[in-house]
Structure 1
Amino acid sequence: MPALTTTNDGFLLHGEPFRILSGALHYFRVHPDQWSDRLHKARLMGLNTVETYIPWNLHQPTPDTLDLDGLLDLPRFLRLAAAEGLHVLLRPGPYICAEWDGGGLPYWLTADPTIRLRTSDPRFTGAVDRYLDLLLPPLLPHMAAAGGPVIAVQVENEYGAYGDDIAYLKHLEASLRSRGIEELLFTCDQTDGDHLKNGTLPGVLATGTFGSRVDRSLARLREHQPQGPLMCGEFWIGWFDHWGGPHHGRDAADAAADLDRLLAAGASVNIYMFHGGTNFGFTSGANHHHAYVPTVTSYDYDAPLTESGDPGPKYHAFREVLARHAEIPPTPTPAPTPKLPLTTLKLTTSAPLLSHLGPAVRATAPLTADELGQRAGYVLYRTTVPAEGAGLLAFEGGVGDRAQVFLDGAPAGVLERERYDETLPVHVPRRDAVLDVLVENQGRVNYGPRIGVPKGLLGPVSLDGEPLRDWDCHPLPLAEPPDPTTFAPATAPVSREPAFHHGTFDVTEPADAFLALPGWTKGQAWINGFPLGRYWNRGPQRTLYVPAPVLRPGSNDLILLELHGTTTRHAHLTDTPDLGPAGS
């Protein structure tokens, strides 16, 4: 019998009445050395449970491997939650959305366009089953049935917004049960339209996702499910940002009032997000409704606990609401984390990106990043142009997602998927000039029918109608930055080509900080080899979060990959984030 069971209108935990007061906290968006701190602050706010997705694409980077190390050490995260006295809601997908690269689906699976994703296509369900065969054995000791903290497990994720293949959902339910999951199963769907009808299963608890109109949303949930607990599986209290868009926020009093309405109705809740964290490295996703729009590095989400783990206005407001409906710890609200003093550092060495190319794959026409076996990062495509003079480069199918074009090393233009760019007028300086096309994967679509769209160059390239052939395709996954000892002293005050830049700075005592890069354009940042993520002067985000555990006493290394150009050789560590104008 599962530890968490349902009654006509609520939950029982080990036979006693229980209300789920949960907050979303994604272990893979938080430095592992900060997991304990974030979990402790969740309990101090008044939560008794935390919820997390599981990103299939990172845990199974290739079909035959399972990664549970470092940022992905989910068993450790579950042990820490249990030590803090928190229960856990586990959401293994296989699809998670989460504004996460590809919605968590692995590129090696979505690269096959004939596989019908998130359906009962046996090629898809077979891949899911093989993943669960690897994932679940190390997690079973952490289920409540074995004395662990996990009290419930989700089946798929907002499936009603995507499809209506009930046989697929039944397969997932059976796959979880047959592999030892005894705990309560639940689904999670928006309460509008047919989402609940299409995304739920008989005998599996249905929960709703919404951020406002609480009474109407609960009424629709009750209409669909006449008996059982009312629960908001995702109570949206903030939102995420896209590059070039506004920075989103939500008034704390408004969100707290809706939380109060939800709890006053007797419902359980999972606050999305309690602590958003960061899309480190190349992990942010993208949306594509009318146009492709990539998500920023920060996943602060205007959550109660900020990206750097500080209690924000919602933390205090939600704690007051929770105290009206449940007993909460009397401990005072935690103080903000220590921050580094303002530090300015100089980047003194550099190396052209094109000097760090990996081995090439030769092909008649450009290969996509997926065909090259690359989940994220960049691909450099190189060929020669047989004619000189003015012409029109045509990229059949466009680019995925942003291409910088060079002729004999000189910038010739940029194409962006956001603008549906497929052509570029150029002037070829000479016959057999070298054409380089550097394509950046800015994040795989995480929601809707365009999940699985490939990256890189998406078709043949021609000049004035004549196909260009014989391409060298250089994958640049950049899972780690290059060794800075190979860089040369930077002699020029500015840089105008894609290049790595390196500098050092001293730290007396590690503390949180925010990397500000005024004068820089677009690229990636690493500190001591840790991937902080993307920066882009397009905004709204202007700083990158630097977790204290990334730093070390004494000398520290900063490496930037600047894709365009910089007017400065300096970078700054500040004590204040800049995610864009507040409240926009």
Structure 2
Amino acid sequence: MTSFKVKGSQFLLNDKPFRIISGALHYFRVVPEYWRDRLLKMKACGCNTVETYVAWNVHEPEEGKFEFGGIADVTAFVELAGELGLHVIVRPSPYICAEWEFGGLPAWLLKDSEMQLRCSDPKFLAKVDAYYDVLLPKFVPLLCTNGGPIIAMQVENEYGSYGNDKAYLRYLRDGMIDRGIDVLLFTSDGPTDEMLQGGTLPDVLATVNFGSRSEESFAKFREYRPDEPLMCMEFWNGWFDHWMEEHHTRDGEDAARVLDDMLGAGASVNFYMFHGGTNFGFYSGANHIKTYEPTVTSYDYDAPLTERGDLTTKYEAFREVISKHEGEPECALPDPLPVKEYGEVEMTERADLFAQLGKLSQPVRRVTPEPMEKLGQNYGFILYSTHVTGPRRGQELHIQDVRDRALVFLDGSYIGAVERWDVRPLKLDVPAGGARLDILVENMGRVNYGPLLRDHKGITEGVRLDNQFQYGWDIYPLPLDSMDGLEFGTATAAQHADTAGEKPAFYRGFFEAEEAADTFLRLEGWTKGVAYVNGFNLGRYWERGPQKSLYVPGPLLRKGTNEIVLFELHGTEQLSVRLEDKPDLGTEAAVDQSILNFTGE
């Protein structure tokens, strides 16, 4: 059994002073076969601890149905970290932010429009209780008080940037204790007055999150906690990317100077992120401060380890600083993981979405368009179809409100796109006999931070032609979690040029692999969509960038024949993709230093 506690301004491990040198690594962003590689590289840099969030929506994707296998096997991840000699910090808050879909909250919470999130609303607390009744007992045997590696757990995540319901914080704390969590509990918030006032509890350890100006940040913390240990729970040494922006990077020497300052002040630190990983599937989130900003598939974060787990100059700079303060790490680096360029893959087969609707979805009849959540759908796409009367000339189509990007078709012909961040009406001419109106809406990720968390997807209010609402809709949920049953035809270049146009379609190709190695799916010439390898959803792609290729971990491949499927929304200039041995995350831009100190991750 290990003892870990706070005494005055120090952490004590087995009654001896201890400094936490931790790195954030989210098990749900890394395939399980690579957990050991990433953890060993973290330890070889000088870390003695690993920190992870726990994403509620990963573990309870449908209410009452729990998942703890494969990439969701959090107990296996914690056990492995302990076997490798690392302590573990677990942050199982109902909400995690993390640029993760809905901040980790499950989408099915939005079925109840009256439920209030992240507060003492009994409806919300009942859902949390049901989840914690299943989740928290899994951690009890892994606590350091029971001989396991977990030394601390978080009560809530950056709550001061959202609310000030202390009864809610106390409820979470008490619920953890009542379920057997007897290790050190803590909160984490930004270093501002309102955040430290709203997000902390007087009898729970407080920590702060920032990326620069450590002396200033700790000084503000000391105004509220003069005698507690200094701990930067999230040292933002890099940053994340949104679509239609540039790839953010941060100078490694600059970040190392901030780390040196913190360690010189006697502080403990958790690198956010040490290894970012990937927002596989539909799990990338979005921000909405001034406008909606969806996050890209890669969560490289310009971290010390790249998305693929390669060492960077930032890794070496951090290792040097840690060695200066803590001594040389004794752990050796693991052998490099293989990476391979498989070359060009012809996408020889095609299946039109509209022709395949019956194999993907069964329509639901509704008077008005309803959002995904009301129909029990969490992610993916949703299609709204109706008949509009004619003749009408020069009328404006208004989607009220679109979440997040809609493609509009009239009698199968593409009219245009309506985007949440740039809402404009589309002009329609309807013939005398009327026409079929189809609106395909893409969920590009729910807001994960700030006051606009309640983010229903699809069409949330209605559809108007000028001021006239249109009623009577067939709605096709398209979660695209399985594409079994799709019937593909041949996709020759000539047929593609004649028939594809702007029609959404599935494209399929195959390639042979003599060995399974990491690779990167390059999508030059393709416009926007989702990529699958051997049935695994790699995530979204978009020509607007910055990200130009998708990471394919080697364990997703198999020796022999492998399948690639693209759901392409607009069309492609060429019927092939490339599998390369290097990533392309887009044009780089330095992180704005102002966001490294005052915004949540």
Q: Distance in 1 between matches of 2:240 and 2:582?
A: 19
> Contact 1:281 / 1:534 at 8 angstroms: preserved in 2?
yes
* Alpha-carbon distance, 1:246 to partner: 1.6
Shift of the 208–281 alpha-carbon distance from structure 1 to 2, 3 Å rule, reads same
Which moved further from structure 2: 5-14 or 247-256? 5-14
Where does residue 449 of structure 2 map in the other structure? 447
How do 1:275-294 residues align onto structure 2 when only pairs under 5 Å count? 275-294=275-294
Q: How far off its partner does 1:139 sit?
A: 2.1
Mapping for residues 165-244 of structure 1, pairs under 5 Å:
165-244=165-244
Distance 1:481 1:567 in 2: 24
Q: How does 1:300-315 map to 2 (within 5 A)?
A: 300-315=300-315
Distance 1:566 1:396, change over 3 A: closer
Contact 2:390–2:431, Cα closer than 8 Å, also in 1: no
In 2, the alpha carbon distance for the partners of 1:175 and 1:431 equals 62
The residue aligned with 1:534 is 540
Range with greater deviation from structure 2 (304-313 or 12-21):
12-21
CA distance in 2, matches of 1:153, 1:176: 9
Residue 129 of structure 1: how far off its partner (Å) = 1.1
Superposed displacement of residue 371, structure 1: 0.8
Per-residue deviation, 1:553: 0.9
User: How far, CA to CA, are the matches of 2:432 and 2:382 in structure 1?
Assistant: 25
Equivalent pair of 1:160/1:197 in contact (CA under 8 Å):
yes
Residue matched to 2:136: 136
Gaps of 5+ in 2: 591-601
Q: Please list the CA deviations of residues 103-152 of structure 1 after superposition, one character each: whole Å capped at 9, or x if unmatched.
A: 11111113323222111111111211111001112221111122111110
| Deviation of the 1:341 alpha carbon | 2.3
Pairing of 1:488-527 with structure 2 (within 5 A): 488-491=489-492, 492-494=495-497, 495-496=500-501, 497-527=503-533
Which residue identity lines up with residue 555 of structure 1 in the other structure?
T
Pick one of 370, 380, 383 that aligns with 2:383: 380
Q: Who is 2:115 aligned against?
A: 115
Look up the equivalent residue of 1:236 and give its one-letter code. Answer: W
- 8 A Cα contact 1:154 1:186, kept in partner: yes
Q: Runs in 1 of length 4+ with deviation above 6 angstroms?
A: none
Matched, 1:578 2:580: no
Tell me which moved more, 310-319 or 137-146.
137-146
The reply to whether residue 465 of structure 1 matches residue 467 of structure 2 is yes
Answer yes or no: is the 8 Å Cα contact 2:297–2:550 preserved in 1: yes
Q: Deviations over 1:20-50 (max 9, x none)?
A: 1000000000011111111111111110001
Q: Distance in 1 between matches of 2:299 and 2:118?
A: 26
Q: What is the one-letter code of the residue matched to 1:31?
A: V
**What is the CA–CA distance in structure 1 between the aligned matches of 2:399 and 2:436, rounded to whole Å?**
20
Q: Say which SS state the counterpart of residue 321 (structure 2) adopts.
A: helix
Counterpart residue number, 2:251 = 251
CA contact (8 A) 2:547 2:586 kept: yes
The residue that corresponds to 1:404 in the other structure is 407
Match of 2:594 in 1: none
**Secondary structure of the equivalent of 2:88?**
strand
Between 1:131-140 and 1:248-257, the stretch displaced more is 131-140
Cα displacement string for residues 88-111 of structure 1 (whole angstroms, at most 9, x for unaligned residues) = 110011110000100111111133
The C-alpha deviation readout for 1:460-489, integer Å capped at 9, x for no partner, is: 2122333322211000001133456x2111
User: What is the TM-score of this pair, normalised by structure 2?
Assistant: 0.94
Conservation of the 8 A alpha-carbon contact between 1:2 and 1:184: no
**Is the contact between residue 311 and residue 336 of structure 1 (CA under 8 Å) also seen in structure 2?**
no
* Secondary structure in structure 1 of the residue aligned to 2:374: coil
Given that 1:111 and 1:454 are in contact with CA atoms closer than 8 Å, whether structure 2 keeps it comes out as no
* Two-structure CA RMSD over aligned residues (Å): 1.5
- Conserved 8 A contact 2:23-2:270: yes
Q: Per-residue displacement from partner, 1:294-321 (whole Å, max 9, x unpaired)? A: 0000000000000001001111110001
Distance 2:145 2:347 in 1: 54
Cα deviation for residue 198 of structure 1 reads: 1.1
Give aligned-pair identity as a percent: 52
From 405, 415, 418, give the equivalent of 2:418. Answer: 415
Matches of 1:103 and 1:2 in 2, distance apart? 32
Name structure 1 gaps, 5 residues minimum.
none
Cα shift readout 1:152-184 (whole Å, capped 9, x = no counterpart): 000110001011111110111100000000000
Amino acid corresponding to residue 449 of structure 1 in structure 2? P
Instruction: Name the TM-score, length of structure 1 as normaliser.
Output: 0.97
Q: Does 2:566 correspond to 1:564?
A: no
SS at match of 1:172: helix
SS at match of 1:123: helix
Map 1:298-337 → 2, pairs under 5 A: 298-330=298-330, 336-337=336-337
Measure how far apart 1:330 and its partner are.
4.2
Q: Distance in 1 between matches of 2:375 and 2:398?
A: 18
> Structure 1's 263 and 368: CA in aligned 2 closer, same or farther, altered over 3 A?
same
Cα deviation 1:52-107 (Å, max 9, x = unaligned): 11111121122212110111110111111111111111001111000010011111
Q: What amino acid does structure 2 have at the position aligned with 1:505?
A: F
For the 8 Å contact 1:263–1:325, the answer to whether it is kept is yes
